[in-house]
A and B are shown apart, each in its own frame.
Chain A
Amino acid sequence: KQEVTQIPAALSVPEGENLVLNCSFTDSAIYNLQWFRQDPGKGLTSLLLIQSSQREQTSGRLNASLDKSSGRSTLYIAASQPGDSATYLCAVTVRWGKFQFGAGTQVVVTP
């Protein structure tokens, strides 16, 4: 069974520092990997989707890498801002229409 792990569970950084968030999965047979942001009491907002054939995706200050063979993905957020404070979740598509989520990393960016 696919297991998705996100370490650390919580992270606090001063404003301006780069954020590095990790996601690992046990089975490399995935279709894609998606990163989400969740604000307290809200739904999930999709940030980036990386197809299994890709190694990275970029959107503005966000960059996500994918290494299928080692079962890892990393989300980089450059020059963090207090507005980046949120919980970040990763999810892998394990088979058609089915997704497995990590528990998330709670990020606090202090001014």
Chain B
Amino acid sequence: SQTIHQWPATLVQPVGSPLSLECTVEGTSNPNLYWYRQAAGRGLQLLFYSVGIGQISSEVPQNLSASRPQDRQFILSSKKLLLSDSGFYLCASGQGTYEQYFGPGTRLTVT
């Protein structure tokens, strides 16, 4: 099975500062990669997904961007954080219509 690594585990950043969250995947090749955000007591909101290197699709307009510089590396970024960017960010990996695997998540607090 796959293993998803995310870092950092927690992050506290001031409004207006930049952001970079990293996700790496082991145990597979050519995966679909996903960034989700989870607000307290709510379901997962898909932010970005990627089917290959350099191929990024955005699901919602927002202050964030994503990049996939390598097959098993997915990065979530922002140039200037907003208070509303606070949340729990999850990276996931999957193959087509099959099982999804999730990383441990990053708790982001924007102050």
Residues of chain A having any CB pair with chain B under 8 Å = 4, 9, 31-32, 34, 36, 41-46, 49, 89, 91, 93, 96-99, 101-104
Contact = CB atoms under 8 A, between A and B. Distances in A.
18 contacts: A32-B97, A36-B102, A44-B90, A44-B92, A45-B102, A46-B101, A46-B102, A89-B43, A91-B44, A91-B100, A93-B97, A97-B51, A97-B97, A99-B46, A99-B94, A99-B100, A103-B41, A103-B42
B102 A44 contact: yes
Nearest to A10: B41
B98 A49 contact: yes
B43 A102 contact: yes
A34 B102 CA distance: 13
Contacts of A97: 32, 49, 51, 94, 96-97
* Chain A contact residues, majority secondary structure: strand
Contacts of B100: 34, 44, 46, 91, 99
* Chain B contact residues, majority secondary structure: strand
Contacts of B88: 41
Contacts, number: 57
Nearest to A104: B43
B102 A43 contact: yes
A104 B6 CA distance: 23
A66 to B, nearest CB: 14
A19 B57 CA distance: 38
Interface stretch (B61-69, B71-79, B103-111): B103-111
A34 B99 contact: yes
B42 to A, nearest CB: 6
A96 B94 CA distance: 10
B107 A96 contact: no
A45 B100 CA distance: 9
Contacts of B103: 43
User: Counting chain B CB atoms within 10 Å of each CB, which of A45, A89, A91, A101 scores highest?
Assistant: A101
